[in-house]
Amino acid sequence: MEKILIFDTTLRDGEQSPGASLTSDEKLKIALQLEKLGVDIIEGGFPISSPDDAKAVKKIGENVKNSVVCALARCQNEDINEALKSLEKAKKPRLHLFLATSEIHRKYKLKKAKEEIIKIAKEKVRYAKKFIDDIEFSPEDASRTEPDFLLEVCQAVIEEGAKTINIPDTVGYAIPEEFGKLIKFLRENLPSDIIISVHCHNDLGLAVSNSLVAILNGARQVECTINGIGERAGNASLEEIVMNLVIRKNYYKVETNIKTEEIYKTSRLVSTLTGIPVQPNKAIVGANAFRHEAGIHQDGILKYRLTYEIMDPKMIGIPKSELVLGKHSGRHALKERLKLLGFEFDGEKVEKIFEKFKKLAEKKKEIHDVDLIAIAEEEIKPVKPVYSLEYFHIISGSSTIPSATVRLKKEGKIIEDASNGDGPVDALYKAIDRITKLSPVLKEYKITAITGGKDAQGEVNVCLEINGERVYGKGVSTDIIEASGKAYINAINFYLVRKNLEKKIIKGA
């Protein structure tokens, strides 16, 4: 199958998203992950725009070995020189030149005639070619440029040495059918060894559609960003384009070098460093992309995953799908979740729990494992805990290293240990770890006031990951440190029971 080159512009066009700003060090961190992802070309920045952008491109060029490192420049000598300087140490450098060609840009922005546009484009590509071999040229606002003139500009820069012609839908104006025809027209009239690229914006929500139809019509490079971030409504989303080509390979009949299992990790890194959250219903990487709440869907997933999932979440680096319990969920999903939590019930008790679950679901948008545990515990005899908190003493202050002394009871025996920590709760948890000889990773920690006033009871909910498995715990007390300790021990007890480490299995009779 033919290869589609993935040109990632997260660090250049993506960073132009309102509110996004990356330092050169943050750009390097993302670039190294993009290389790990398998991106063919990384556009590191627009060097003339700021000293830190130039520094970022330089750092990326020095550290990235497998991907091509690209720098953007206007068709001006000053821009070109700055970009070339930033690429001096890149193993695989590319210069990306752009010049507006549409009538509206010629008339109102550049105030130049067609002949002047062609002259400038030719001169600047010829100038750059003296110093660098890999040149990409973008006729800005190509989708609103007269097709015959667009072809003339492309042919002119190819004569001067441009190897890649990028066709930008700069303002997201194109419609898939007409954009596909434009790419086909160019493919039929440009040399076969010239790579046609596309760069689509999402103003009408068509960036991915336009990119995919361009591939069907001969484009062999796609410019995109992680999470689809970028100017205004953003760019074509890398993860959506790639997974379309993977899942519908028999239709598109092309492939990429992307290691899809790195997609989710890359998405999270970009979101964290840019400060731009991923919308929950975002395709591929959104929080809800592999979550199912409807009872019919959950029943289908439990019987055979492909009934309601066309992708295995592991393909993009997510361990598994998640059945979200809410008011639309059914008995089957509830029973499966209870089983995972260590509870097994007969039909009558499942019905009782299901009724309570439904009532709670009317009040809460989403039911968490701690809620299910509380409901399930009402239907069985309380499980004798493996460990119980007997005593704790905390020393903490602005000029004191926090420390905790803890006594736990196990099978009538008191075990005591102590530890320091970054704070009182951290010290408490480390002391508990020493006693239980477990090494939980704290994934979630939430405090909620469940009564009013200064003597309010606080509820602490924690999620721990122990040996790759997640367990939840809840603790309630007017002392938030005590509530934290109870929640932590509660989660550990559920883990021990669930794994049968103490030869105790919870069963409803």
- State residue 316's pLDDT score: 83
- State residue 54's pLDDT score: 96
Domain spanning 388-498: which superfamily?
A: Alpha-isopropylmalate synthase LeuA, regulatory domain (3.30.160.270)
Average pLDDT over residues 432-450: 88
Reply yes or no on whether the pLDDT at 406 is more than 90. yes
**Which of these ranges, 72-86, 447-461, 482-496, has the smallest mean pLDDT?**
447-461
Yes or no: say if 236 and 13 are a contact pair by the CB < 8 Å rule: no
Average pLDDT over residues 392-410: 93
- State residue 508's pLDDT score: 34
Strand partners, 140: 100
Tokens matching residue 472? 């939840």
Query: What distance in Å separates the CA atoms of residue 121 and residue 110, rounded to the nearest whole number?
Result: 13
Looking at the chain, how many residues does it have? 509
- State residue 58's pLDDT score: 98
Handedness of CA 353, 469, 495, 424 (dihedral sign): negative
Radius of gyration of the chain (CA): 29
Reply yes or no on whether the pLDDT at 209 is more than 80. yes
What does DSSP say about strands 5-8 and 221-224: parallel, antiparallel, or unpaired? parallel
Residue 505 pLDDT level (bands cut at 50, 70, 90): very low
Question: How far is CA 307 from each of CA 4, 298, 299, 331, 506, rounded to the nearest angstrom?
Answer: 30, 10, 10, 18, 32
Query: What distance in Å separates the CA atoms of residue 90 and residue 80, rounded to the nearest whole number?
Result: 16
Reply yes or no on whether the pLDDT at 476 is more than 90. no
**Which of these ranges, 144-148, 224-228, 461-465, has the smallest mean pLDDT?**
461-465
What does DSSP say about strands 164-169 and 135-140: parallel, antiparallel, or unpaired? parallel
Average pLDDT over residues 338-358: 74
Query: What distance in Å separates the CA atoms of residue 76 and residue 440, rounded to the nearest whole number?
Result: 57
Reply yes or no on whether the pLDDT at 501 is more than 50. no
More confident residue, 10 or 377: 10
Amino acid making up residue 378: E
10: three-class secondary structure by DSSP? coil
Nearest to 182 by CA among 224, 142, 221: 142
Tokens matching residue 229? 């971030």
Domain boundaries, the chain: 2-274, 291-378, 388-498
pLDDT digits 0-9 by tens, 20-44:
778 899 999 999 999 999 999 999 9
Query: What distance in Å separates the CA atoms of residue 40 and residue 371, rounded to the nearest whole number?
Result: 46
| Matching residue, tokens 């760019």 | 235
CA angle 80-48-138, nearest 5°? 55
344: three-class secondary structure by DSSP? coil
- State residue 370's pLDDT score: 57
Percent of all residues in the chain with a pLDDT value above 70, rounded to a whole number: 83
- State residue 127's pLDDT score: 98
Average pLDDT, the chain: 87
pLDDT digits 0-9 by tens, 288-308:
666 544 555 555 644 655 565
Percent of all residues in the chain with a pLDDT value above 90, rounded to a whole number: 62
Reply yes or no on whether the pLDDT at 327 is more than 80. no
Yes or no: say if 121 and 75 are a contact pair by the CB < 8 Å rule: yes
Domain spanning 2-274: which superfamily?
A: Aldolase class I (3.20.20.70)
Reply yes or no on whether the pLDDT at 336 is more than 90. no
Reply yes or no on whether the pLDDT at 415 is more than 60. yes
Residue 65 backbone phi and psi in degrees, to 5: -110, -35
Query: What distance in Å separates the CA atoms of residue 5 and residue 192, rounded to the nearest whole number?
Result: 16
* Verdict on whether the full-model pTM lies above 0.75: no
Tokens matching residue 251? 């239709």
Reply yes or no on whether the pLDDT at 503 is more than 50. no
Yes or no: say if 8 and 33 are a contact pair by the CB < 8 Å rule: no
490: three-class secondary structure by DSSP? helix
Residue 342 pLDDT level (bands cut at 50, 70, 90): low
Average pLDDT over residues 106-121: 97
Average pLDDT over residues 331-346: 70
Reply yes or no on whether the pLDDT at 448 is more than 90. no
Average pLDDT over residues 4-29: 89
Please give, one letter per residue, the 3-state secondary structure of 392-458: EEEEEECCEEEEEEEEEEECCEEEEEEEECCCHHHHHHHHHHHHHCCCCEEEEEEEEECCCCCCCCE
Average pLDDT over residues 135-159: 98
Nearest to 505 by CA among 332, 336, 335, 344: 344
Q: Tell me 107's DSSP state.
A: I
Q: Tell me 108's DSSP state.
A: I
- State residue 12's pLDDT score: 96
- Say how far residue 476 (Cα) sits from the centre of its chain: 34
- State residue 506's pLDDT score: 36
